Amino acid sequence: SQQGEEDPQALSIQEGENATMNCSYKTSINNLQWYRQNSGRGLVHLILIRSNEREKHSGRLRVTLDTSKKSSSLLITASRAADTASYFCVPGGGNKLTFGTGTQLKVEL
């Protein structure tokens, strides 16, 4: 996979608000994945969106993919303190994942 660039680098919101983070990449992809890493813990695979999909939902998560702009967004609705984590996008998938610096999300009570 190639390295995605997440934006913003850090985001702080109140519990109950929505959080949106964006990802840009450089070359064409078959799919794009989002992962979450809680502090000091392993990564959790959140969602995968394929290149022929525009939008995908999973619980409170909504992911969009715009292949013409080479960008993706992850929306977390009604955020909770437990959503505090780093979020990484991985464009391309496969057996050699490349991670960027991620978006550090902090959800405050």
69 lies in the site for another protein, by CB under 8 A: no
The residue range among 18-26, 27-35, 54-62, 72-80 that interacts with another protein, by the rule CB under 8 A, is: 27-35
59 lies in the site for another protein, by CB under 8 A: no
33 lies in the site for another protein, by CB under 8 A: yes
In the complex, the smallest distance separating the C-beta of residue 66 from another protein, rounded to whole angstroms, is 21
State how far the Cα of 66 lies from the Cα of 53, in Å rounded to an integer: 9
The residue whose two tokens read 């969602």 is 47
Sequence-ordered strand ranges (E) for 15-102 = 19-24, 31-37, 43-50, 55-58, 61-66, 71-76, 85-91
Q: Is 15 or 24 the residue whose CB approaches another protein more closely?
A: 24
Contact 99, 3 (CB under 8 A): yes
Binding interface with another protein (CB under 8 A) = 30-31, 33, 35, 40-45, 48, 86, 88, 93-99, 101-102
